Structure 1
Amino acid sequence: MLEKQIRFGILGCADIARKVARAICLSPNATLSAIGSRSIDKAKRYAAENGFPETVKVYGSYEAILDDPSVDAVYVPLPTSMRVLWGVSAAEKKKHVLLEKPTAMHVSELDQILQACESNGVQFMDGTMWMHHPRTHRMREMLSNPSLFGDLKEVHSISGYRGDSDFLENDVRVKPDLDGLGALGDVGWYCIRSILWATDYELPKTVTALHGPVFNKAGVVLSCGASLLWEDGKTATFNCSFLFNSSMDITVLGTKGTLHLNDFIIPFNETSASFSFASESGFTELATGWAPLPRDHVVTTDLPQEALLVKEFASLVGLIRDSGSKPDAKWPTISRKTQLVLDAVKTSIDKGCVPINIVS
């Protein structure tokens, strides 16, 4: 029996919405119902350029999507500074909220969104796509196996890409009134999430920004990093930037095992993804090699990770709509922890790279 499809509306014509619209169309339990912009002409042009079906309704305002009773859920890729307004508005209209990352300028704004979602019984999830790839679940299984990995000691994450001169001057992500978190909010979010994922979402005790963050003329972060420390001595570092060649690396170090991957945000291939895992490796005699060698693990998927995100979100929405289930608290909790750490990094940068205690 086919699942009842969840009908999505998209607020805005952001470039990332093209990818998510495709994901909605690929997901077996979702359908694209409406697209809205502040300009009807822009919305029509966007729908035509992206080949949306004629059944997709086109609106000249965001409010029109929220007022459409046929829309079950909305995807919100609007600039970060606008997400609290439209996230809360969507929840108050009983629309389930798939929110692009970073979720807010500050955790206090995210808390407003989460409170509205909870009060109105709607599901919240952020748009961190790699979390939904089957590779991520397979890596989690290996990290959770004490005989293979042992105890977690360190995590290192890198995420970034090189923006050209036009990007660094004009992109939404470098405008203080739109996406004022800059590289920290855009690519740093992924690093922070990967570290929390590796630690099974245990918040660190302190966060300290690395010295030497780079800003544009408007004061928006173009490149930065941080170190994180836990009560039990675990450590982590990350670097994120709009100024270096595309990199998406995670290294997770345990007392027995080591995990590496170089494409954690966007896999090199859409239908398969790999990672390297070594367990109790050491040097051979005379230190001429390693034994046992790290093993490459390949995980295949029938759907790209963004479609798997939509599928999982739509499944949760369907359970609420059709079975009276409660929203799943897992995803809002993970989003909030990520935002808390991001906020601490930003505060550390603003205070001259001093240690900041995490207060949940």
Structure 2
Amino acid sequence: MAAETQTPPIRFGIIGCARVARTVSRAITLAPNAVISAVASRSIEKASLFAKANNFPPEAKIYGSYEALLDDPDIDAVYLPLPTSLHVKWAVVVAQKKKHLLMEKPVALNVAEFDVIAKACEDNGVQFMDGTMWVHNLRTAKMREFLSDSERFGQLKAIHSCFSFTGHPDFLKNDIRVKPDLDGLGALGDTGWYCVRSILWANDYELPKTVVALHGPVLNEAGVILSCGASLHWDDGRIATFFCSFLSNLTMDITAIGTKGTLNLHDFVIPFQNKEASFIVNSKCVFNETVTSWVPIPSAHTVTTDIPQEVCMVREFSRLVGDVKMVQSLS
């Protein structure tokens, strides 16, 4: 019997040496269907140091320009962690070079820019994925099962999401996320991205009818958002709120409320533990006869996994890329 044909791993090139690229490069190394083939920076010395610090394989290529990496025929996919202001330019070039694209969020500064990116990927037949890791966690699938259970959860009525952390003085002065020419969306584009994603996820990605900014956003001297919130409203009465901030204690909460049940978790963006994640549900809870306790008591559910959520993301992206490559090879 002939041996089963193994699909070659997807060969990644990394453009830029941002801090988050350390996490994703490790995830590429751990994913069973991916491999790091190259890294590029505008400084070849910086690229070389990044590769060494993150234990890149010795055969990984080091480039001193983004263009050189994109011209490499041995690269299947590109991970792009550049500042948001550079996304539309380089994402289009990546697509035109027929490289599949895994891109950091926020994916663009506005809808018009994202439409350009999406069209470039579609026109060139390449896979696109944003780098939102938590949606690939096995816990997320289990939470979806609860939200979809008409007997335990019922119909979604409201969801509230919060992601904040306290930026230290150097962060608030020098980080790209507070610079209008680099990541001009500030906290809304960074932590707010996750809040909005969680709200849309809970609503099966149905867009709201209206969105209202909450009073009192905090801006820095350059006009970049450091803290803000909003409410979202659907025609059938569903509502959502979110709060995102660089000025408040580390918080990553979701509360989804249905007609029969409630879902709570406090670490939705990054789990408290790398390979274990929990959430709390209550269903059809009432007060006891003396109104001194709940019946039944809400229950905690723990989901374990052999690989962390960022590796799940890379694995899924690589699977999709492999499928695209196979279809293209048959056409």
Q: Could you state the TM-score of these two structures normalised by the residue count of structure 1?
A: 0.89
| Letter of the structure 2 residue corresponding to residue 103 of structure 1 | V
Deviations 1:295-330 (A, max 9, x none): 10000111110000000000000011123399xxxx
Preserved contact between residue 26 and residue 54 of structure 2 (Cα < 8 Å): no
Identity of aligned residues (%): 62
User: What residue in structure 1 maps to residue 39 of structure 2?
Assistant: 35
Do residues 264 (structure 1) and 268 (structure 2) align?
A: yes
User: What residue in structure 1 maps to residue 230 of structure 2?
Assistant: 226
| Letter of the structure 2 residue corresponding to residue 314 of structure 1 | S
| Letter of the structure 2 residue corresponding to residue 209 of structure 1 | A
**Residue 51 of structure 1: CA displacement?**
2.0
CA–CA distance in 2 between the matches of 1:325 and 1:214? 52
Unaligned runs of 5+ in 1: 327-360
CA–CA distance in 2 between the matches of 1:262 and 1:141? 18
| Letter of the structure 2 residue corresponding to residue 309 of structure 1 | M
**Residue 10 of structure 1: CA displacement?**
0.5
User: What residue in structure 2 maps to residue 285 of structure 1?
Assistant: 289
For 1:83, which of 84, 87, 92 is the aligned residue? Answer: 87
Preserved contact between residue 186 and residue 225 of structure 2 (Cα < 8 Å): yes
Deviations 1:52-98 (A, max 9, x none): 22111100011111110000000000000000011110000000000
**Residue 252 of structure 1: CA displacement?**
0.1
Higher helix share: 1
User: What residue in structure 2 maps to residue 47 of structure 1?
Assistant: 51
Q: How many residues align?
A: 326
| Letter of the structure 1 residue corresponding to residue 180 of structure 2 | P
CA–CA distance in 2 between the matches of 1:282 and 1:183? 38
Secondary structure of 2:319's counterpart equals: helix
Preserved contact between residue 225 and residue 238 of structure 1 (Cα < 8 Å): yes
Unaligned runs of 5+ in 2: none
Do residues 160 (structure 1) and 164 (structure 2) align?
A: yes
CA–CA distance in 2 between the matches of 1:160 and 1:91? 33
For 1:59, which of 43, 59, 63 is the aligned residue? Answer: 63
Preserved contact between residue 319 and residue 325 of structure 1 (Cα < 8 Å): no
Q: Which runs of 4+ in 1 moved over 2 A?
A: 322-326
For 1:310, which of 314, 317, 326 is the aligned residue? Answer: 314
User: What residue in structure 1 maps to residue 136 of structure 2?
Assistant: 132
CA–CA distance in 2 between the matches of 1:16 and 1:50? 12
CA–CA distance in 2 between the matches of 1:89 and 1:210? 38
Q: Could you state the TM-score of these two structures normalised by the residue count of structure 2?
A: 0.97
Preserved contact between residue 159 and residue 255 of structure 2 (Cα < 8 Å): yes
Bigger relative CO (Cα 8 Å, ≥ 6 apart): 1
User: What residue in structure 2 maps to residue 199 of structure 1?
Assistant: 203
Secondary structure of 1:161's counterpart equals: strand
CA–CA distance in 1 between the matches of 2:168 and 2:23? 22
Secondary structure of 2:321's counterpart equals: helix
Preserved contact between residue 183 and residue 240 of structure 1 (Cα < 8 Å): yes
Task: Report the aligned-residue RMSD.
Answer: 1.1
Deviations 1:108-151 (A, max 9, x none): 00111100000011000000000000100010011001001011
| Letter of the structure 1 residue corresponding to residue 185 of structure 2 | L
